[in-house]
């Protein structure tokens, strides 16, 4: 309202000053100006007359009862109906956050909504997958040991109570070591029928926070949380300010998380209740407000949490962006985040006393013959997962999405936090005038490409770098792709010159790699923004 | 075809250690012809198709209409000074070819000197040739007067590229706009070649106190026989200009006689459609507006800078109209758009992302101040009646300061938001 009044006042001021000038200046030019002013004045006058009569009609309609359903009855559309985005009915009484920034990268190879038939025999736990773990963990198993799902595999030496447990039951067949005896992978050959270690079920209603943490840490479920700032494994003695969950993923080819959790309503509700025990604040749920119909009932029906709807393009589904809009992190805060599928895993543990780290994994990418979903514990072998596909050296396998996933070899295993495997073509070929006249479709935020101009034609992207690295030249590019009140380019420059105070002031603690991945994708100068951000976070973390 | 070309290119690659300069050159041309086969490593796996080459090339595309009309207008102004071929199509071949004879050497010299220096520095620093000069090389001929001697152009470009850009670290590091730096170098070092009334029309020479047409050997020796063989009109040396001729631009007329003074020689339509003397690319206003619209639509140039610059001009123009103390102040504010180079400076000079403010709010301030300061110089400076070059260079220097205050304001806002949250 204030803004409207301000606009009106400044417009009328401008108009009156124009008339003043027109009246003072002589000659042919001022005549032309006066004519324009008369036309504007006439238009304004007629608009006012029509608007007033239209409003009178609407009032009359309300009085006589013709306007039963409460809809606006006038001929003219209301102003906000013209300029505001039309919110679907289900969002009318909800907390909605709308952002126009961001970009949905149109890619081919989305997962079909069907479950693929694959049999996976080998699983691996890779300590390097876990963010912020100390370099060499203490391994508790040896080759030849048999383990059950939920049995401890290793612990973090800095937090000995913090157990990392086995995703499946089976036999330890290999412990791969790297440089300086670092542990690369602990490979487990899975049993045909899975056996679960049984834990004592904590009673959600009565259990204290200390006991709950102890129970989650000893079963290996504390690994499911990440702590911000820095996006690392949580400290067990930290009480987080709040816990945030995003229930939808807007990354390219991301899995449909509502589909992933179908049928797990009870476990999800129990998980949410457990989370609210862990924090001194609230549990926040970020819901997808982009659809014409409401988000999945499993998310909308859950109780005991704060729900916020988000409308916009990627990265609006990132939990970091949602935190920024709900309740931003200050440098002193500690908050936890958890993936939505993992909430149901915790719920299942509370209800049944078993650690069943089974998630729905999306197999995506235009290079695959069959895309779809696989219900499987973390750390599955890529060889087994893609056994029916012809994946060669011409392809790149990514654990995660194309923006912030990790490249893995065919002999590798799916990462711990990832609910998606993407296969894209390697783009290691020369292209004649590739910068000027691209002959095949490629994703871009720039309207200089016909695919973008036509409203985002999906393409099978490859991994070509699309140009060479340059100094920062373009400005304002990142601002349109990061839906947060942060000055990204200034922040990156502060990191590059190692200005710690400025980094903190510009809000580095609010960001993690996945939030700036879209900026890195679009960067005209091909700067490695995610690794720049991580180096900045490392500096801040080391400073304490 | 593509594969044989590629294998030819790969075969002739010079050895990097034995002949580093050749390798740098080769690398520059090879990456121009072929997008390299580099793949992403760490970080994102898929990259946007946009790169700096493509970005800059689209700016060059946006300039093409200005090049077309600029070429024509060199001939047009030349012949209208002689009182010949006043109509658009009359003597069309003479105008176009005369324009080409003038503009091609300017373009070639600007690019050979500029790119040569870029190549040399790339070789010295041992990195690839960067495409920064692509746009500068296209802009520089357009901001020069058509009769500029080539040696002055060469010196000015060398100065701008070495002192303005390479000294600061190359593409993306310069503080001042390269094209304007080369122009301002001429303005201070050889002022008579770029200011006053006598430099804006090419091909006129003063013989015994009278301006007469004078052509070089290429025009009389090669073009004339060709045109004769077609039975077309030819160039004639020694024709005198029409009575009462002056090469004054609308701006210098306005400085002396105000809006009335401009109207004695030019109509507002004539100024809008570009049939006036001036720098090569600045005269046709519609083509510049089309170029600006193209850049804004594609999201390449900042609309914030352009819009706020227009606001700066309008408000300052209105104030001058109210004050109305000197002849130049009575030029109606809306006529400032079609005089001189405001639109060209707005569309292509002020929007250079490297030298402009980097923050969105900073861009609004930056553009507004350019609009204000430029018009103040145009209206109040008695010696040189155009302000955009100096205003933009001046604001280039201040852009980091504007950004500093915008960033400080942003930090203060962030802090107050966080402290509000902490207290709630």
Q: What is the pLDDT of residues A458-500, one digit of tens each?
A: 888 899 999 889 999 999 999 999 999 999 999 999 999 999 9
From A176-180, A405-409, A463-467, B91-95, the region with the lowest mean pLDDT: A176-180
Whether residues B297 and A447 touch (CB distance < 8 A) is answered with yes
Residue A375 DSSP label: E
Give the pLDDT score at A179.
81
B74, pLDDT greater than 90: yes
A15, pLDDT greater than 70: no
Q: Backbone phi, then psi, for A279, in 5-degree steps?
A: -110, 155
Shortest Cα–Cα distance, A298 to chain B (Å): 31
Sequence-separated (6 or more) residues with CB below 8 Å from residue A317: A246, A248, A249, A250, A251, A254, A286, A288, A310
CB atoms within 10 A of CB A523: 28
Give the pLDDT score at A399.
95
Q: Which residues pair with A397 in a beta bridge?
A: A408, A423
Under the banding of pLDDT at 50, 70 and 90, the label for residue A69 is low
From CA B386, how far away is CA B183, in angstroms rounded? 13
Q: Which of residues 403-422 of B touch A (CB under 8 A)?
A: 403, 407, 410-411, 413-415, 417-418, 421-422
Q: Is A133 left (phi over 0), alpha (psi -120 to 50) or beta?
A: beta
Whether residues B36 and A430 touch (CB distance < 8 A) is answered with yes
Give the pLDDT score at B87.
85
Select from A239, A185, A443, A137 the least CA-distant residue to B49.
Answer: A443
Q: What percent of chain B has pLDDT over 90?
A: 60
For residue range B154-175, what is the model confidence (pLDDT) as tens digits?
999 999 999 999 999 888 899 9
From CA B372, how far away is CA B310, in angstroms rounded? 9
Mutate to test the interface with B, among A448, A497, A508 (most CBs of B within 10 A): A448
Find the mean pLDDT for residues A49-66. Answer: 80
Give the pLDDT score at A543.
85
Give the pLDDT score at B238.
85
In chain A, residues with a C-beta closer than 8 Å to the C-beta of B40 are 463-465
Give the pLDDT score at A406.
94
Whether residues A506 and B334 touch (CB distance < 8 A) is answered with no
Give the pLDDT score at A455.
80
Whether residues B407 and A487 touch (CB distance < 8 A) is answered with yes
Find the mean pLDDT for residues A331-338. Answer: 93
From A17-21, A256-260, B198-202, the region with the lowest mean pLDDT: A17-21
Q: Which of residues 359-418 of A touch B (CB under 8 A)?
A: 396, 398, 402-405, 407
> Tokens 């383990």 sit at which residue?
A147
In chain A, residues with a C-beta closer than 8 Å to the C-beta of B403 are 490
Under the banding of pLDDT at 50, 70 and 90, the label for residue B112 is very high
Residue A433 forms contact with B (CB below 8 Å): yes
Whether residues A21 and B333 touch (CB distance < 8 A) is answered with yes
Q: Closest partner residue to A429 among B37, B51, B171, by Cβ?
A: B37
Select from A507, A505, A494, A506 the least CA-distant residue to A535.
Answer: A494
Distance of alpha carbon B114 from the chain centroid? 15
Q: Which of residues 106-135 of A touch B (CB under 8 A)?
A: 107
**Which helix (H) or strand (E) covers residue B418, if one does?**
helix B388-423
Q: Which residues pair with A359 in a beta bridge?
A: A376
The DSSP line for A267-309 is HHHHHHHHHHHH-SS-EEEEEE--SSSPPPHHHHT--SSEEEE
Give the pLDDT score at A6.
60
From A193-197, A309-313, B9-13, the region with the lowest mean pLDDT: B9-13
Q: Closest partner residue to A473 among B44, B57, B354, by Cβ?
A: B354
Question: For the domain A93-113+219-354, what is the CATH code?
Answer: 3.40.50
Give the pLDDT score at A457.
84
Select from A522, A523, A486, A526 the least CA-distant residue to A502.
Answer: A486
Find the mean pLDDT for residues A195-213. Answer: 91
Higher pLDDT, A77 or B123: B123
From CA A16, how far away is CA B374, in angstroms rounded? 26
Residue B348 DSSP label: I
**Coil/strand/helix, residue B212:** strand
CB atoms within 10 A of CB A278: 20
From CA A129, how far away is CA A137, in angstroms rounded? 12
Contact A489, B13 (CB under 8 A): no
In chain B, residues with a C-beta closer than 8 Å to the C-beta of A403 are 44-46
Q: Backbone phi, then psi, for A154, in 5-degree steps?
A: -155, 170
Q: Which of residues 39-58 of B touch A (CB under 8 A)?
A: 39-40, 42-55, 57-58
B21, pLDDT greater than 90: no
From CA A396, how far away is CA A393, in angstroms rounded? 7
Q: Closest partner residue to A448 among B50, B130, B333, by Cβ?
A: B50
Under the banding of pLDDT at 50, 70 and 90, the label for residue A10 is low
Rg, C-alpha atoms of chain B:
24
From CA A183, how far away is CA A175, in angstroms rounded? 7
Residue A67 DSSP label: -
CB atoms within 10 A of CB A154: 21
Mutate to test the interface with B, among A474, A485, A512, A514 (most CBs of B within 10 A): A474
Whether residues B45 and A525 touch (CB distance < 8 A) is answered with no
From CA B346, how far away is CA B296, in angstroms rounded? 12
Give the pLDDT score at A459.
87
From CA B297, how far away is CA A448, in angstroms rounded? 9
**Tokens describing residue A88:** 């679907």
Q: Closest partner residue to A476 among B268, B360, B411, by Cβ?
A: B360
Whether residues B51 and A526 touch (CB distance < 8 A) is answered with yes
Give the pLDDT score at A76.
60
Domain ranges of chain B: 16-38+50-247, 267-419
Mutate to test the interface with A, among B28, B40, B320 (most CBs of A within 10 A): B40
Mutate to test the interface with A, among B47, B58, B118 (most CBs of A within 10 A): B47
A68, pLDDT greater than 90: no
In chain A, residues with a C-beta closer than 8 Å to the C-beta of B268 are 29
Under the banding of pLDDT at 50, 70 and 90, the label for residue B23 is confident
User: CA-nearest residue of chain A to B329?
Assistant: A25
Q: Which of residues 502-531 of A touch B (CB under 8 A)?
A: 505-507, 517, 520-526, 528-531
Select from B232, B197, B235, B228 the least CA-distant residue to B101.
Answer: B235
Find the mean pLDDT for residues A121-139. Answer: 89
Q: Which residues pair with A464 in a beta bridge?
A: B39
Whether residues B43 and A530 touch (CB distance < 8 A) is answered with yes
Under the banding of pLDDT at 50, 70 and 90, the label for residue A434 is confident
Contact B309, B368 (CB under 8 A): yes
Select from B212, B222, B278, B233 the least CA-distant residue to B90.
Answer: B233
User: CA-nearest residue of chain A to B356?
Assistant: A475
For residue range B370-394, what is the model confidence (pLDDT) as tens digits?
999 999 999 998 777 788 999 999 9
Higher pLDDT, A506 or A436: A506
Under the banding of pLDDT at 50, 70 and 90, the label for residue A9 is low
Rounded to the nearest 5 degrees, what angle is found at the Cα of A489, between the Cα atoms of B124 and B389? Answer: 65
In chain A, residues with a C-beta closer than 8 Å to the C-beta of B129 are none
Give the pLDDT score at A453.
81
From CA A469, how far away is CA B53, in angstroms rounded? 11
Distances (CA, A) of B155 to A56, A312, A368, B109, B113: 73, 52, 59, 10, 9
From CA A111, how far away is CA B49, in angstroms rounded? 24
From CA A418, how far away is CA A414, in angstroms rounded? 7
Whether residues B49 and A438 touch (CB distance < 8 A) is answered with yes
Distances (CA, A) of B20 to A78, B27, B118, B124: 68, 10, 15, 9
Produce one character per residue of A2-33: b if its CB has 16 or more CB atoms within 10 Å, e if not.
eeeeeeeeeeeeeeeebeebbeebeeebbeeb
In chain B, residues with a C-beta closer than 8 Å to the C-beta of A511 are none
Q: What percent of chain A has pLDDT over 90?
A: 62
Shortest Cα–Cα distance, A523 to chain B (Å): 7
Distances (CA, A) of B352 to A67, A362, B59, B212, B301: 55, 44, 10, 40, 8
Give the pLDDT score at A1.
39
Shortest Cα–Cα distance, B20 to chain A (Å): 19
Q: What percent of chain A has pLDDT over 70?
A: 90
**Which helix (H) or strand (E) covers residue A360, if one does?**
strand A358-364
Whether residues B335 and A445 touch (CB distance < 8 A) is answered with no
Q: Which of residues 329-358 of B touch A (CB under 8 A)?
A: 330, 332-335, 353-354, 356-358
Q: Please count the residue pairs, one from chain A and one from chain B, whose beta carbons lie less than 8 angstroms apart.
A: 221
- Maximum pairwise Cα distance, chain A: 100
Shortest Cα–Cα distance, B319 to chain A (Å): 9
Mutate to test the interface with B, among A324, A457, A473, A489 (most CBs of B within 10 A): A473
Mutate to test the interface with B, among A487, A501, A502, A531 (most CBs of B within 10 A): A487
Q: Backbone phi, then psi, for B39, in 5-degree steps?
A: -115, 160
Sequence-separated (6 or more) residues with CB below 8 Å from residue B115: B133, B137
Residue A30 forms contact with B (CB below 8 Å): yes
Whether residues A30 and B335 touch (CB distance < 8 A) is answered with no
Shortest Cα–Cα distance, A160 to chain B (Å): 32
For residue range B178-203, what is the model confidence (pLDDT) as tens digits?
999 999 999 999 999 998 888 899 98
What's the mean per-residue pLDDT of chain A?
88
Shortest Cα–Cα distance, B190 to chain A (Å): 32
Distances (CA, A) of B48 to A109, A154, A446, A465, A526: 18, 41, 8, 8, 9
Rounded to the nearest 5 degrees, what angle is found at the Cα of A18, between the Cα atoms of A13 and A22? Answer: 150
For residue range A209-226, what is the model confidence (pLDDT) as tens digits?
999 999 999 999 999 999
In chain B, residues with a C-beta closer than 8 Å to the C-beta of A422 are 45
From CA B278, how far away is CA B281, in angstroms rounded? 8
B39, pLDDT greater than 50: yes
In chain A, residues with a C-beta closer than 8 Å to the C-beta of B51 are 435, 466-468, 470, 524, 526
Sequence-separated (6 or more) residues with CB below 8 Å from residue B166: B117, B118, B121
CB atoms within 10 A of CB A118: 18
Domain ranges of chain A: 2-84, 93-113+219-354, 465-544
> Tokens 């299942």 sit at which residue?
A348
Under the banding of pLDDT at 50, 70 and 90, the label for residue B315 is very high
């Amino acid at each position: 309202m204030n803004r409207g009044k301000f606009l009106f006042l400044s417009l009328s001021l401008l108009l009156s000053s124009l008339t003043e000038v027109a009246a003072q200046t002589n000659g042919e030019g001022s005549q032309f100006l006066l004519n324009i002013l008369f036309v504007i004045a006439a238009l304004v006058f007629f608009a006012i007359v029509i608007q007033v009569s239209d409003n009178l009609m609407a009032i009359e309609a309300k009085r006589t009862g013709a306007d039963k359903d409460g809809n606006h009855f006038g001929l003219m559309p209301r102003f906000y109906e013209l300029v505001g985005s039309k919110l679907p009915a289900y969002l009318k009484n909800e907390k909605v956050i709308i952002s126009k920034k961001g970009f949905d990268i149109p890619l081919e190879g989305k997962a079909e909504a069907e479950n693929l038939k694959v049999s996976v025999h080998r699983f691996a736990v890779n300590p390097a997958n876990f963010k912020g773990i100390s370099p060499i963990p203490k391994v508790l198993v040896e080759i030849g040991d048999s383990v059950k799902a939920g049995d401890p595999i290793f612990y973090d030496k800095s937090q000995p109570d913090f157990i990392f447990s086995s995703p499946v039951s089976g036999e330890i067949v290999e412990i791969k070591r790297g440089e300086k005896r670092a542990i690369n992978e602990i490979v487990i050959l899975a049993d045909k029928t899975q056996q679960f270690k049984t834990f004592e079920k904590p009673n959600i209603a009565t259990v204290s926070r200390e006991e709950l943490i102890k129970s989650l840490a000893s079963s290996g479920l504390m690994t499911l949380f990440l702590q911000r700032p820095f996006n690392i494994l949580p400290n067990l003695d930290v009480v987080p300010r709040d816990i945030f969950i995003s229930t939808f993923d807007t990354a390219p080819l991301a899995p449909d998380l509502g589909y992933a959790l179908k049928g797990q309503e009870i476990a999800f509700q129990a998980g949410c209740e457990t989370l609210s025990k862990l924090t001194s604040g609230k549990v926040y749920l970020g819901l997808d407000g982009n659809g014409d119909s409401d988000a999945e009932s499993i998310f909308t029906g859950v109780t005991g949490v704060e729900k916020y709807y988000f409308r916009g393009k990627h990265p609006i589904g990132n939990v970091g962006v949602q935190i920024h809009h709900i309740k931003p992190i200050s440098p002193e805060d500690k908050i936890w985040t958890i993936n939505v599928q993992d909430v149901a895993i915790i719920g299942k543990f509370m209800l049944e006393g078993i650690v069943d780290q089974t998630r729905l994994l999306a197999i995506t990418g235009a290079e695959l013959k069959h895309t779809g979903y696989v219900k499987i514990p973390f750390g599955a072998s890529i060889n087994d997962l893609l056994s029916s596909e012809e994946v060669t050296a011409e392809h790149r396998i990514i654990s995660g999405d194309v923006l912030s996933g990790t490249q893995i070899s065919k002999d590798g295993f799916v990462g711990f936090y990832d609910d998606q495997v993407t296969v894209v073509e390697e783009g290691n070929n020369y292209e004649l005038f590739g910068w000027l006249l691209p002959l095949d479709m490629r994703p871009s935020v720039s309207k200089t490409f016909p695919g973008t101009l036509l409203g985002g034609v999906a393409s099978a992207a490859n991994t070509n770098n699309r140009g060479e690295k340059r100094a920062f030249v373009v400005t304002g590019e990142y601002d349109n792709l990061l839906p947060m009140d942060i000055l990204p380019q200034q922040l990156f420059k502060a990191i590059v010159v190692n200005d710690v105070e400025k980094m903190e002031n510009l809000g580095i603690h609010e960001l993690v790699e996945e939030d700036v991945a879209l900026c890195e994708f679009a960067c005209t100068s091909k700067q490695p923004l995610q690794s720049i951000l991580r180096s900045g976070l490392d500096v801040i973390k080391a400073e304490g | 075809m593509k594969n044989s070309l590629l294998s030819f290119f790969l075969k002739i690659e010079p050895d990097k250690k034995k002949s580093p300069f050749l390798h740098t050159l080769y690398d520059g041309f090879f990456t121009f012809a072929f997008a390299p086969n580099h793949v992403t490593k760490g970080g994102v796996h898929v990259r946007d198709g946009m790169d700096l080459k493509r970005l800059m090339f689209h700016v060059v595309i946006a300039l093409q209409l200005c090049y077309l009309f600029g070429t024509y207008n060199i001939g047009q102004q030349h012949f209208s000074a002689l009182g010949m071929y006043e109509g658009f199509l009359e003597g069309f071949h003479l105008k176009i070819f005369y324009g080409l004879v003038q503009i091609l050497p300017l373009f070639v010299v600007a690019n050979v000197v500029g790119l040569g220096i870029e190549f040399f520095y790339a070789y010295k620093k041992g990195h690839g040739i960067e495409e920064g000069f692509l746009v500068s090389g296209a802009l520089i001929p357009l901001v020069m007067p058509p009769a500029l001697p080539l040696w002055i152009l060469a010196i000015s470009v060398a100065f701008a590229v070495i002192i303005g850009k390479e000294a600061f670290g190359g593409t993306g590091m310069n503080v001042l706009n390269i094209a304007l730096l080369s122009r301002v170098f001429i303005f201070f070092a050889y002022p008579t070649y770029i200011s006053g009334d006598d430099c804006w029309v090419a091909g006129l020479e003063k013989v015994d106190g009278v301006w007469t047409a004078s052509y070089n050997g290429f025009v009389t020796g090669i073009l004339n026989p060709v045109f004769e063989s077609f039975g077309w009109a030819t160039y004639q040396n020694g024709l005198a200009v029409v009575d009462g001729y002056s090469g004054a631009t609308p701006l210098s007329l306005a400085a002396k006689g105000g809006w009335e003074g401009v109207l004695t020689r030019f109509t507002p339509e004539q100024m809008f459609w570009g049939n006036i003397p001036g720098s090569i690319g600045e005269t046709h206003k519609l083509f510049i507006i089309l170029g600006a619209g193209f850049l804004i639509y594609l999201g390449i140039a900042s609309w914030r800078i352009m819009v706020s610059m227009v606001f700066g001009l309008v408000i300052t123009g209105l104030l001058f109209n109210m004050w109305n103390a000197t002849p130049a102040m009575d030029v109606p504010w809306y006529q400032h758009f079609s005089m001189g180079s405001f639109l060209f400076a707005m569309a292509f000079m002020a929007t250079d992302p490297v030298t402009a403010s980097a923050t969105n709010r900073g861009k609004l301030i930056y553009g507004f101040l350019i609009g204000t300061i430029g018009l103040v110089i145009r209206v109040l400076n008695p010696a040189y009646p155009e302000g955009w070059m100096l205003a933009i260079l001046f604001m280039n220097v201040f852009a980091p300061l504007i950004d500093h205050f915008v960033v400080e304001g942003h930090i203060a806002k962030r802090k107050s938001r966080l402290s509000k949250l902490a207290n709630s």
